[in-house]
Amino acid sequence: MWPVSVASRHAVASPRVKELAHPKLVSNAWEADWPVYTRVSKGAMTAAARERTTQLAKPKKRDFSAKQDAPPTPPQSITQFTRTAYLARPKTEHPSYLHDKPIRWAVSAGARNAVMSARLSELARPKVRKQIFEGYNPYRISSAALHTEASARLQELSIPQRVRKKR
C-alpha cells in the first residue's frame, strides 16, 4: 500500500460524492433464477389449430416430372436468336493493343556497338560509403549547419501566437 496524506484523512465528502458512493439498486423486473423449462398454460396445450393454419403449414405440392422431359423451348423469333449468338461471342482485343514483348528479342546494332563515355562510367559506379564499424557516423552534423543563424522572418514565425482560452 501507499501512504495516505493527512489532508485526505481529514477530508469531508460533498453531498454529491456521498450520493454517488451508494451502490446501484437492482431493477425490480430482474429475476435471479428463471426456471429451466417454461410453463405452458392449459389453454395453449388444449388449443386446436384452425383449418387455414394447418393448410399453410403443409408444403406445396409441385409436379416436376413434366418439366424434366420437355425439350427446351426455341426462341420465338430469329432476331432473338441472333442477339443471343451476338452476346455469346467472346470480346475482341482493341486494334491498338500491344501484347507483351517476348522474353528474347533482337538487340539493335546501335545498342551492341555503343561505347560508354568516361563521365557516364563515373556516374554508373555506386557511391562508396563507409560502414558504421569502419568509422562512419550517420548522426554527424556538419560544421556549416552548426554555425547557421535563422533569418528574421523565421525568427518571427517561430514566436507562438496568442492562445485563446476555451469557453
Confirm if 132 and 138 have CB atoms less than 8 A apart: yes
Asked if 120 contacts 112 with a C-beta cutoff of 8 angstroms, the reply is: no
Query: What is the reported pLDDT for 163?
Result: 66
pTM for this model (two decimals) = 0.22
In the block, which residue shows the cell 460524492? 17
Compute the half-sphere exposure of residue 38: CA atoms within 13 Å on the CB side of its CA. 4
pLDDT in tens, 48-68: 999 999 999 999 887 776 666
CA dist 74 → 43, 68, 70 (Å): 59, 16, 12
165's grid cell: 482560452
Q: What is the pLDDT of residues 106-126, one digit of tens each?
A: 889 999 999 999 999 999 999
pLDDT tens digits, one per residue of 91-100? 888 889 988 8
Q: What is the pLDDT of residue 69?
A: 63
The residue whose grid cell reads 561505347 is 115
How far is residue 81's CA from residue 122's CA, in Å, rounded to a whole number? 70
Q: Could you count the other beta carbons within 10 Å of the beta carbon of residue 38?
A: 6
Model confidence at 84, pLDDT cuts 50, 70, 90, reads confident
Predicted confidence band at 80 (pLDDT cuts at 50, 70, 90)?
A: confident
Residue 72 has pLDDT above 70, yes or no: no
User: Using one digit for the tens of pLDDT, what is the confidence trace for 24-47?
Assistant: 888 888 777 777 777 888 998 899
